[in-house]
Amino acid sequence: MKLNDIVIQTTTKFVLFIILAFSIFIFFNGHHHPGGGFIGGLMTSAAITLLLLAFDFETVKRILPIDFKILTASGMLIATLTGMGGLVFGGPFLSHTFGYVHLPFFGEVELATALLFDLGVYFVVVGSALTIIEMIGGDQ
Amino acid sequence: MTNYVIWTLLIPLLAGIIMLFIPQRVILQRTISIIASIILLINTVLLVFQIQTEGIQKMELGGWAPPFGIILVGDMLSGLLVLTTALVIIPILIYSFSSIGVEREKKYYYSIFFFLVTGVLGAFLTGDLFNMFVFFEVFLLSSYVLIVHGSTQKQLRESFKYVLINILSSALFVIGVAYLYAVIGTLNMAHLGERIASLTEPAPILTVIALMFLIIFGLKGAIFPLYFWLPASYTAPPTAIGALFGALLTKVGIYAIFRTYSIIFVHDPAYTHTVLGVLAALTMIFGVIGAVAHKDVTKILVYNVIVAVGFVLFGVSTMTEAGYQGAIYYVIHDMIIKAALFLLIGALVTVGGTKYLKQMGGIIKYHPALGWLFLVAVFALVGIPPLSGFIGKVLLIQGGTTVGDYWIVFLMMVASLLVLYSMIRIFLQGFYGKSVLSSKEEHGTTKGLLFPISLLIALSVLLGIGAEFLYPFVQTATEVLLQPELYINAVLKE
């Protein structure tokens, strides 16, 4: 029985990209302002969950052919290795550094190694949130 | 200079993460886990020697100096516990290979195993209370997964209680930490110790907070009124997981009490440490009553875990040199011997096909090695010289008599005798007695199970004979506990 799918599906197609764009903005906003990997990851998972609600599981698997458990594991690996980067350069674990680079279009941008750590957190959050949803909702 | 403190946490963490990528490759996972645990062992041995020669080791995460940043501190007490943990997990891993089953191994068993180890090691090494909470959560979450791993009916039922009780204790932990921060204004353990020691008139609320932490850690470490959840939940999961829990998890609770009651809450020992001593005595009595009363071999064993908690905490409550030394010796001995006994009882239940003493008998006829190993383990547990329990108990008794707690010392000796009775009953009825089963009717084999058990028993014997060798290390650990200034200066002043 599919009655109202058309409304939610049409809306999702537009809203999805707004949510994703905003989640990426929030992710990059993290270092000096509210935001970061955790909240950005949650927002991305929310976007994908919306996609799941509007369409079905097979569609989402076709669009995103990723094993979310592997995504979680990669996130953990990235975060830990970033932390260990400090050890390689003789500093303590988790020590970080930053620099300013000039990018076309964006201008002067501050890049910190904490961003890499946050990327790991982002993957872990997206991966584990979607694994849980996959476990609970995947059977139907 | 290599910092072994941080590698102690990174090795198991990395091993766990790497194995998340390869859940289907069982042989590769086994190889990685055994290699990782051996590297971890080498690392912790180096850490202990480094602490002995160079003093307390610390690691300021991200380069932030304490008390502002997060810090890991390796003093000798942490070092010895970390080393024992690294020693104990290798036999448990080997035992898992032949007993846990491929189905479980493919469901991230080894990853979760190493995450649990990371949490336990982190709790031993952390230098501030909030991170102790974080590491508690790391190993608790892993233990939630392990206790329900395989989802048998019994596991599901017991895990529910286990999760509930631990969520409660975690909530209390955060509340306790908040109270402490509100009153003292810091959470770094060295800084807390320094500030509380400098108070001329400590507020009564500090005593309340001290008791609150005793409840929190007591729930984890299973002291007298708070051990009710332990017997059922430690017997629910497979043997290897039960051994891991019995050897490590309660010991983290004990360590936390040890640490907080020797460095932080020393403002009113006449009250707080008396409460601790009385609770320790009650823990011994009620634990041993449970051990004697039960007819189920696994239950007898888990009640013995509770008795040991009482012994160690009694040592902590005396606040004497001998008491502390006894507690350290005993906790190391107990981690090793409890792991061995869990594995032995697991093998016994596998072979006998039942948990009930009445239905067993004569197993020694077909499994002589298993039987005699069990007897040696029982003697070590009770502390018959020269096995490992002896030196710890002698020092505990010495510590108790120094401060005049004669009745607790008396109770401890009675409890020890009853422990011997409860365990020797398993030997006499289960192993010795009349054969119930012929060799063909047996329910399983001990193939692959005897080697890890003998490793642990050998360790226990070595610990007993080599007590002299271990003594300087225990002495270093005790010095820091008796003079908290050493810990505080090492963390804050350098």
DSSP symbols for B140-170: HHHHHHHHHTT--HHHHHHHHHHHHHHHHHH
Q: What residues pair up with B57 in beta bridges, in sequence order?
A: B74
Q: How far is the CA of B159 from the CAs of B107, B149, B215, B253, B396, in angstroms?
A: 18, 10, 21, 19, 35
Specify the 3-state DSSP secondary structure of A107.
strand
> Residue B150, Cα to own-chain centre: how many angstroms?
24
Which range of residues forms the domain containing residue A100?
5-137
**Contact check, Cβ <8 Å, B17/A76:** yes
Q: Judge whether A90 is closer than 8 Å to chain B, CB to CB.
A: no
DSSP B356: B
Contact B147, B233 (CB under 8 A): yes
Chain A positions touching B61 (Cβ under 8 A) are 92-95
CB atoms within 10 A of CB B45: 15
- Model-level pTM? 0.91
Q: What residues pair up with A129 in beta bridges, in sequence order?
A: none
Q: How many domains does chain A have?
A: 1
Q: Judge whether B13 is closer than 8 Å to chain A, CB to CB.
A: yes
Chain B positions touching A86 (Cβ under 8 A) are 62-63
Contacts of B173 (CB under 8 A, 6+ apart): B133, B136, B216
> Residue A39, Cα to own-chain centre: how many angstroms?
9
Phi-psi region of B383 (alpha: psi -120 to 50; beta: other; left: phi over 0): left
Output the six-digit token pair for B142. 């892993």
Chain B positions touching A80 (Cβ under 8 A) are 10, 13-14, 17
Chain B positions touching A72 (Cβ under 8 A) are 20
Q: What residues pair up with A98 in beta bridges, in sequence order?
A: A112
B contact test, residue of A68, A70, A84, A93 with most B CBs within 10 A: A93
Cα radius of gyration rounded to whole Å, chain A: 18
What whole-number distance in Å separates Cα of residue A98 and Cα of residue A111? 6
Residue type at position B173: F
Nearest by Cα to B140 from B108, B164, B169, B116: B116
Q: Judge whether B22 is closer than 8 Å to chain A, CB to CB.
A: no
**Contact check, Cβ <8 Å, A77/B18:** yes
Specify the 3-state DSSP secondary structure of B59.
strand
**Contact check, Cβ <8 Å, A80/B61:** no
Chain B positions touching A69 (Cβ under 8 A) are 20, 23
**Contact check, Cβ <8 Å, B62/A76:** no
* CA dihedral for A81, A83, A84, A85, sign (positive or negative): positive
**Contact check, Cβ <8 Å, A76/B20:** yes
Specify the 3-state DSSP secondary structure of A103.
strand
- Tens digit of each residue's pLDDT, chain B (494 residues): 467 888 899 999 999 999 999 988 889 999 999 999 999 999 999 999 999 988 888 888 877 887 788 888 988 999 999 999 999 999 999 999 888 888 888 888 999 999 999 999 999 999 889 999 999 999 999 999 999 888 888 888 888 888 999 999 999 999 999 999 999 888 898 888 888 888 888 788 888 999 999 999 999 888 888 888 888 888 888 888 999 998 899 899 999 999 999 888 888 888 888 899 999 999 999 999 998 988 888 889 899 999 999 999 999 998 888 999 999 999 999 999 999 999 998 888 888 778 887 777 777 777 888 888 889 999 988 888 878 888 889 899 998 888 888 889 999 999 999 999 998 888 888 888 777 766 555 666 667 788 899 999 999 888 888 888 888 999 989 988 888 888 888 888 76
∠ CA(B9), CA(B471), CA(B132), 5° rounding?
A: 30
- What residues of chain B, 77 to 136, have a C-beta less than 8 Å from chain A? none
What is the maximum span of chain B, computed from C-alpha positions, in angstroms?
A: 73
CA dihedral B27, B12, A86, B43 (to 10 degrees): -100
Output the six-digit token pair for A95. 């020590």
Output the six-digit token pair for B91. 């036999």
- Closest CB to A92 among B18, B23, B62: B62
- Closest CB to A80 among B13, B23, B59: B13
Q: Judge whether A135 is closer than 8 Å to chain B, CB to CB.
A: no
**Contact check, Cβ <8 Å, A76/B61:** no
Q: How many CB pairs under 8 A join A and B?
A: 41
Q: Phi and psi of B381, rounded to 5°?
A: -60, -45
Q: How far is A91 from chain B (nearest CA, A)?
A: 7
Q: Judge whether A46 is closer than 8 Å to chain B, CB to CB.
A: no
Q: Judge whether A69 is closer than 8 Å to chain B, CB to CB.
A: yes
**Contact check, Cβ <8 Å, B59/A84:** no
Chain A positions touching B59 (Cβ under 8 A) are 92-93
Q: How far is A52 from chain B (nearest CA, A)?
A: 25
Closest residue on chain B to A71 (Cα): B21
Q: Judge whether B65 is closer than 8 Å to chain A, CB to CB.
A: no
- Closest CB to A92 among B18, B23, B61: B61
Interval B383-431: pLDDT, tens: 888 788 888 898 999 988 888 888 899 999 999 999 999 988 888 888 8
Query: In residues, how long is chain B?
Result: 494
Beta strands in B157-258 (DSSP E): none
Chain B positions touching A94 (Cβ under 8 A) are 61-62
Q: What number is the ipTM of this complex?
A: 0.85
**Contact check, Cβ <8 Å, A80/B14:** yes
Chain B positions touching A76 (Cβ under 8 A) are 17, 20
Output the six-digit token pair for B387. 């096995």
Determine if the peptide bond prior to B386 is cis (ω within 30°): yes
Cα radius of gyration rounded to whole Å, chain B: 22
Interval B188-238: pLDDT, tens: 988 888 888 888 887 888 889 999 999 999 998 888 888 888 888 888 888
Chain A positions touching B13 (Cβ under 8 A) are 80
Q: Judge whether A95 is closer than 8 Å to chain B, CB to CB.
A: yes
Output the six-digit token pair for A28. 């990059």
Give the per-residue pLDDT at B111. Answer: 92
Residue type at position A98: F
Nearest by Cα to B217 from B180, B259, B161, B187: B259
Specify the 3-state DSSP secondary structure of B64.
coil
Chain B positions touching A92 (Cβ under 8 A) are 3, 6, 59-63
Q: How far is B1 from chain A (nearest CA, A)?
A: 9
Contacts of B250 (CB under 8 A, 6+ apart): B220, B221, B222, B230, B305, B309
